[in-house]
Amino acid sequence: MRVPVPDEAFTMEKPRVRFAPSPTGYLHIGGARTALFNWLWARKTGGTFVLRVEDTDQERSTDESTRVILDSMRWLGLDWDEGPDVGGPHGPYFQMQRLALYRAHADRLVAEGKAYRCYATREEIDALRAKLPEKKRDGFVYPHLWREKTEADWLPGAPYVIRFKSPLVGATEFIDKVFGAIKTPHSSIDDFVIMRSDGVPLYNFGAVVDDVTMGITLVARGSDHIINTPKQILLYEALGAVVPEFAHLPMMLTPDGKKMSKRLAEQQGIDVPVEKYREKGWAPDGLLNYIARFGWSAGDQEIFSRDELIAKFDWAHCGTNDGRYDKKKSLWVSGEHLKRLADEDFAARVYPFLATVGVTIAQDDPRLLPAARTVKTRSARLLDAAESMVFYFQETIALDPAAVEKFLTNEARANLRAIADVLAGVKDFTEAGIGVAVEAWLVERSLEIKVVAQPARVALTGRTASPGLFEVIAVLGRDESVRRLRSAADA
């Protein structure tokens, strides 16, 4: 019997969570998931979602990348309460604008004997490592060259890094909100560098100083950061700060179970940059649904609106095992979201994609809504929907040669002319009215719709798969339908 616990979301202090991408490319689908879980928690609890740009890797960081990532975040609707553009009381929100802060904290740690200057050069350390027998090189750790030195030993003017003086014995344990207790022996934590010789902090230090000064109460991120957590806890303690809560999320892997690098994933037909999903016509809520449901569940429910996600999200139902991206399921989820859209909304969303498949019509073209309606339940993504719609708007449709060969026989062509004549005389030119008239003609000729449907479909759409025949005719209109039928018959 489960002991009822008060809903944590409503009994705790308002949490402050954050998403801290480094601007070295695009928004990774896995990063989007991390951002989503943080955002959901903030929105559910009335807490604060902070966006911070970790741009300390000057080699790879670009403004363009920052722009792309922010764009993707906005497209997903993951709005931030503090961060770039919106500002906030704990800014700046770009790490490269906070250098003095890291410097001050690092110097303080040195002054307190909790960190130290290390003048050993990289070459010097590499040489030491190279001297080791092959087998021991993997486990090589910094050999404490400068750990016990004092200010008197400093080399004025020479470059140095600042290393953290990690405890030699004991262990650090923390209770992860997803994984539970995780314990790491200090023997596996070396005197890691916290400040580079150029005065720029390294990830573990910059993140901790920022999380402390930004008042972050819960750090949720991918499980690849579990390994960093003990180091960071040591840093919080050295800084005299309150250690936040941690929640790690299992990894999203490729279909064959590998780390989702862009190259590897794309080989398996999986898109990694969020912008690709936008380009292919995912509804943002559909993508959010798929990645939320990945590693998290709420009973048997599969489809969630954004508001349901916010209402139902919790850490207790986050799983612990890494998962593999399932493209077919992701497409199904996407389709389910499109299916639930009102026809007008769906049509408006498809519209921009028509241009990308070469259809230029006005946004208020009267054919748009009825045409969109016919493909709504047949499309996984908006781009797919647009592709299924092109034949409606083409002056001259391209007839699939194989389809012509198979279906446009002489007998079929005669039928097409006859159907064209029937259509020319239909009074009630609606899907139902057209159906009645054509059925009557079929009865009169003792024909089955089976034998005339495919030829007519090819004539009207150019292809062998399309929405229902009478729907298509109704959308095309009398004149265009008759024209296409006769044109195909005479071709």
Partner RNA sequence: GGCCCCAUCGUCUAACGGUUAGGACAUCGGCCUCUCACGUCGGUAAUACGGGUUCAAAUCCCGUUGGGGUCACCA
Q: Which residue, 142 or 277, has its beta carbon nearer to RNA?
A: 142
In whole angstroms, give the CA distance from residue 376 to residue 381: 9
Smallest gap from residue 251 Cβ to RNA (A): 5
Q: Does 223 bind RNA (CB under 7 A)?
A: yes
Q: Which residue, 364 or 448, has its beta carbon nearer to RNA?
A: 448
Count of residues touching RNA (by CB under 7 A): 84
* Pairing assessment for the beta strands 161-164 and 115-118 based on DSSP bridges: antiparallel
Q: Does 54 bind RNA (CB under 7 A)?
A: yes
Out of 13, 134, 300, 490, point to the residue binding RNA (CB under 7 A): 300
Out of 175, 227, 402, 491, point to the residue binding RNA (CB under 7 A): 227
Stretch that binds RNA, among 35-43, 78-86, 134-142, 414-422 (CB under 7 A): 134-142
Q: Which residue, 355 or 465, has its beta carbon nearer to RNA?
A: 465
Q: Does 34 bind RNA (CB under 7 A)?
A: no
Q: Does 186 bind RNA (CB under 7 A)?
A: no
Q: Does 166 bind RNA (CB under 7 A)?
A: no
In whole angstroms, give the CA distance from residue 192 to residue 161: 10
In whole angstroms, give the CA distance from residue 41 to residue 39: 5
Out of 108, 262, 306, 324, point to the residue binding RNA (CB under 7 A): 324
Q: Does 203 bind RNA (CB under 7 A)?
A: yes
- What is the DSSP secondary structure assignment for residue 311, as one 8-state letter? H
Residues 6+ apart with CB under 8 A from 108: none
Q: State which of positions 352-381 bind RNA (CB under 7 A).
A: 377-378
Q: Does 250 bind RNA (CB under 7 A)?
A: yes
Smallest gap from residue 56 Cβ to RNA (A): 3
Which of 149, 262, 312, 406 is the catalytic position?
A: 262
For residues 92 to 121, the per-residue mask of contacts with RNA, x marking binding by CB under 7 A and - elsewhere, is: -----------------------------x
Stretch that binds RNA, among 108-116, 351-359, 390-398, 447-455 (CB under 7 A): 447-455
Stretch that binds RNA, among 218-226, 279-287, 363-371, 415-423 (CB under 7 A): 218-226
Q: Does 454 bind RNA (CB under 7 A)?
A: yes
Q: Of 366, 370, 367, 363, which is closest to residue 349 (Cα–Cα)?
A: 363
Q: Do residues 38 and 261 make contact, with C-beta atoms less than 8 angstroms apart?
A: no
Q: Does 128 bind RNA (CB under 7 A)?
A: no
The tokens describing 159, both together, are 């470059």
Stretch that binds RNA, among 86-94, 105-113, 329-337, 390-398 (CB under 7 A): 329-337
In whole angstroms, give the CA distance from residue 41 to residue 312: 10
DSSP assignment of 314-357 equals -STTB--S-EE--HHHHHHHHHHHHHTS-HHHHHHHHHHHHHHT
In whole angstroms, give the CA distance from residue 273 to residue 71: 12
Q: What share of the chain is helix, strand, coil (3-state, %, to 5)?
A: 50, 10, 40
Q: Does 259 bind RNA (CB under 7 A)?
A: yes
Q: Of 118, 126, 21, 8, which is closest to residue 69 (Cα–Cα)?
A: 21
Smallest gap from residue 482 Cβ to RNA (A): 18
Does residue 312 carry a catalytic annotation?
no
Preceding peptide of 230 cis, ω within 30°? no
Between the alpha carbon of residue 76 and those of residues 168, 203, 282, 291, 385, the distances in Å are 45, 26, 10, 12, 20
Stretch that binds RNA, among 108-116, 239-247, 294-302, 393-401 (CB under 7 A): 294-302
Smallest gap from residue 363 Cβ to RNA (A): 26
The neighbouring-strand residues paired with 161 are 118
Stretch that binds RNA, among 257-265, 340-348, 360-368, 406-414 (CB under 7 A): 257-265
Question: What SS3 state is found at 222?
Answer: strand
Out of 131, 263, 328, 427, point to the residue binding RNA (CB under 7 A): 328
Out of 122, 131, 263, 427, point to the residue binding RNA (CB under 7 A): 122
Instruction: Name the H helices within 179-273.
Output: 203-213, 229-239, 262-267
Q: Does 251 bind RNA (CB under 7 A)?
A: yes
Q: Which residues are catalytic?
A: 262
